[in-house]
């Protein structure tokens, strides 16, 4: 049981529906940036997105090929482990269902990998069934490099570090392998509604 913080009243935002704000989060209109290193700038001409690992044949899309796939525009709430949540964010990209269609695999996990060396791990089922996208537009504009452009993973039902910036592909794995932040003590799964911020939460 937490003690009362003498004199603390809080500044609750009346307009934010509490049912949409996970425990320990606050709603912001800003779009803060959190990255472990410099923002990479990979030339779009040699950019590709690759699904590899536990598959018969790796499959790859160039930037032009990705853009040519049917896109979806979704409005979702996003939740960062550093406590901010941003409601009704609008993203455009390609559903992971479309990219994984026809991929035969016995894998149950994926590791998303990015320019700059960032990785994050997720169960395969968490990127299927309309739950994940490779997003290249935010608010109708090309995704800015500091927010993960040209393209980032978008998995809004998990804390936002799982939505890997500068994503370049998925490694399909039969066994789970912790990614970058997951090896530094962050939670392996990261469900904001169960407040799974850190290992053991």
Partner 1 sequence: MARAAVLGRLTWQLGRVVELLDETDRVRSIVLDLPEWPGHRAGQHVDVRLTAEDGYQAQRSYSIASAPEDESLVLTVERLDDGEVSPYLADELRPGDELELRGPVGGYFVWEESLGGPLFLVAGGSGVVPLRAMLRHHAAIGSDVPVRMLYSARALEEVIYREELDLLAASHEVDVRFALTREWPAGWQGYRRRIDRALLQEIAWPAAEQPLVYVCGPTGFVELAAGTLVELGHDPARIRTERFGPTGA
Three-state DSSP state, 183: helix
Residue 4 interacts with partner 1 (CB under 8 A)?
Answer: yes
Out of 16, 22, 35, 47, the residue judged to bind partner 1 by CB under 8 A: 35
Terminal-to-terminal C-alpha distance of the chain: 16
Beta-bridge partner residues of 78: 86
Closest CA to 67 of 51, 47, 52: 47
Q: Which is nearer to partner 1, 117 or 130 (CB)?
A: 117
- x-or-dash string of contact with partner 1, 99-138, rule CB under 8 A: -----------------xx--------------------x
Bridging pattern class, strands 109-114 and 119-123: antiparallel
Residue 37 interacts with partner 1 (CB under 8 A)?
Answer: yes
d(CA 104, CA 114): 23
d(CA 165, CA 144): 10
Three-state DSSP state, 51: strand
Q: Which is nearer to partner 1, 48 or 183 (CB)?
A: 183
Question: Shortest distance, CB of residue 164 to partner 1, whole angstroms?
Answer: 14
Closest CA to 103 of 59, 71, 133: 59
Q: Which is nearer to partner 1, 23 or 70 (CB)?
A: 23
Q: Which is nearer to partner 1, 65 or 198 (CB)?
A: 198
Out of 28, 50, 60, 62, the residue judged to bind partner 1 by CB under 8 A: 28
Residue 14 interacts with partner 1 (CB under 8 A)?
Answer: no
Out of 42, 128, 147, 157, the residue judged to bind partner 1 by CB under 8 A: 147
d(CA 96, CA 82): 26
Residues that bind partner 1 (CB under 8 A): 2-12, 24, 26, 28, 30-40, 82-83, 116-117, 138, 144, 146-147, 180-181, 183-185, 197-201
């Amino acid at each position: 049981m937490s003690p009362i913080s003498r004199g603390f009243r809080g500044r609750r935002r009346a307009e934010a529906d509490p049912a949409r704000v996970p425990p320990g989060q606050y709603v912001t209109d800003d779009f803060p940036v959190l990255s472990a290193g410099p923002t990479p700038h990979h030339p779009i001409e040699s950019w590709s997105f690759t699904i590899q690992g536990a598959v018969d044949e790796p499959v790859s899309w160039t930037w032009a090929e990705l853009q040519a796939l049917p896109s979806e525009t979704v409005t979702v709430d996003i939740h960062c482990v550093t406590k901010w949540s941003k409601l009704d964010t609008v993203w455009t990209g390609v559903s992971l269902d479309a990219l994984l269609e026809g991929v035969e695999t016995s894998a149950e996990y994926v590791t998303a990998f990015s320019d700059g060396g960032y990785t994050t791990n997720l169960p395969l089922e968490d990127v299927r069934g309309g739950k994940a996208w490779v997003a290249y537009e935010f608010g109708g504009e090309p995704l800015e490099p500091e927010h993960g452009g040209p393209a980032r993973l978008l998995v809004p039902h998990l804390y936002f570090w799982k939505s890997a910036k500068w994503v370049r592909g998925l490694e399909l794995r039969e066994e789970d392998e912790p990614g970058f932040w997951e090896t530094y003590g962050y939670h392996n799964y990261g469900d904001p509604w169960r407040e799974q911020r850190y290992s053991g939460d």
